[in-house]
Amino acid sequence: MTFLAPAIEDLSDALRRFHLWIALGNIEIRQRYKRSFLGPFWITINMGILIFGIGYIYAYVFQSLHSSYVPYLATGILSWNLIGGSLSEGANCFIAAGPIIKNITISKVVHLFHCMWRNVIIALHNGLIMVPVYLIYGGFPGWGILAIIPGAIVLVLFLVSASLLFAVLSARYRDVPPAIAGFLQLAFFATPIIWEAGTLSHHRWVVELNPFFHMVECIRAPLLQGVLPLHSIAITGALAIVMGLVALAAYSRARRRIVYWL
């Protein structure tokens, strides 16, 4: 454990500086939409266009009812956006913060949290789309929706861990970010988000073995059925712990050298 001590030190230092990364994330989001009338709500609107547009058409493709397919697609895409967005941006967080790392002495984990916070804000804006979805198609799960809190916490823990590992690898090996982007694209189509897991019938094991399915479920199940998906949360949590330890080990080894890789 002494080997991990400096990494843990950086981690807790970054946690203490929550003012910094929260402010940085907020300013960035505001900036992106600064001169637009609707501001960050463009995030929500674009999500709405996607969900209602694709949902309307694909419900026919899959011959399902709009009232069940659109909420399913909406919750799936909401989860995926957080997962895919965090992992691809997280992998780039040290590279993007290069000028800062080379000039300001601060725990490098701050840059990861900054990136993660920005993705959480985007996810919260996207989440607003559930209001019209529930209003139009019904299915609001009542108090059960609170199950999203443990689900989201476990998911974010996994995303932070995985992003830290990817960020270290990406800073050193510049082939990693495009590889991750390609892999995420495959994962999006291979995971039941647009299509439903039930359609696989005999081949459902493909879904059960897919970690992304469980990550998506951490958010989708509470929003859709108002239940706590214990099985999926347990798997995501276990992956978070394993990934977290690997990431800390990699970061411990690399933390002094990252500055030279940028």
Residue numbers at the binding site for other proteins (CB under 8 A):
17, 19-20, 23-24, 27-28, 31, 34, 99-106, 256-257, 259-261
C-beta separation of 83 from 155 below 8 A: yes
DSSP string for 125-145:
HHHTTHHHHHHHH----GGGG
CB of 173 to other proteins, least distance (A): 10
CB of 103 to other proteins, least distance (A): 4
Structure tokens at 244: 């977290």
Enumerate residues 6+ apart whose C-beta is below 8 A from 233: 150, 151, 154, 214, 218
Cβ nearer to other proteins, comparing 7 with 82 = 7
How do the residues of the chain divide into helix, strand and coil, expressed in percent and rounded to 5?
A: 80, 0, 20
Cβ nearer to other proteins, comparing 112 with 239 = 112
Cβ nearer to other proteins, comparing 202 with 256 = 256
Cβ nearer to other proteins, comparing 8 with 100 = 100
Q: Cα(81)–Cα(193) distance, rounded to whole angstroms?
A: 11
Cβ nearer to other proteins, comparing 4 with 20 = 20
CB of 114 to other proteins, least distance (A): 10
CB of 12 to other proteins, least distance (A): 15
The H-assigned helical ranges of 173-210 are 176-190, 205-208
* Residue 71: C-alpha distances to residues 3, 53, 55, 90, 95 (Å): 47, 13, 8, 28, 37
Enumerate residues 6+ apart whose C-beta is below 8 A from 50: 77
Cβ nearer to other proteins, comparing 19 with 203 = 19
CB of 36 to other proteins, least distance (A): 13
CB of 30 to other proteins, least distance (A): 9
